[in-house]
């Protein structure tokens, strides 16, 4: 299971694009999540508990050192 389309909460320098800043900081757009976040029935995220999204966001922030604005599964 992957967190995809990750948007990081990063500050941009004047004239800097988000993509350039993300690349410079080596922040990924997509990350395979640890198995503890995977639904019990595989890839079916229908009914996936909303509190898991908060847990995943916290894990991403802890792992990469930047807060996450959004992501998709």
DSSP 36: G
Q: What is the dihedral of CA 60, 64, 23, 11, to 10 degrees?
A: 90
Q: What is the dihedral of CA 22, 26, 27, 28, to 10 degrees?
A: 110
pLDDT for residue 36: 84
pLDDT for residue 45: 61
pLDDT for residue 23: 95
CB 30 within 8 A of CB 3: yes
Each residue of 5-64: pLDDT tens digit? 999 999 999 999 999 999 999 999 999 999 888 776 555 566 666 778 889 999 999 999
pLDDT for residue 46: 63
pLDDT for residue 38: 78
pLDDT for residue 48: 67
């Amino acid at each position: 299971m992957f967190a995809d389309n990750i948007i990081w909460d990063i500050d941009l320098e004047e004239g800097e694009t988000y993509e350039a800043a993300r690349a410079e900081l080596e922040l990924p757009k997509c990350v395979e999540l640890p198995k503890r976040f995977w639904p019990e029935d595989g890839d079916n995220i229908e009914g996936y508990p909303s509190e898991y999204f908060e847990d995943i966001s916290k894990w991403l922030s802890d792992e990469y050192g930047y807060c996450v604005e959004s992501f998709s599964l």
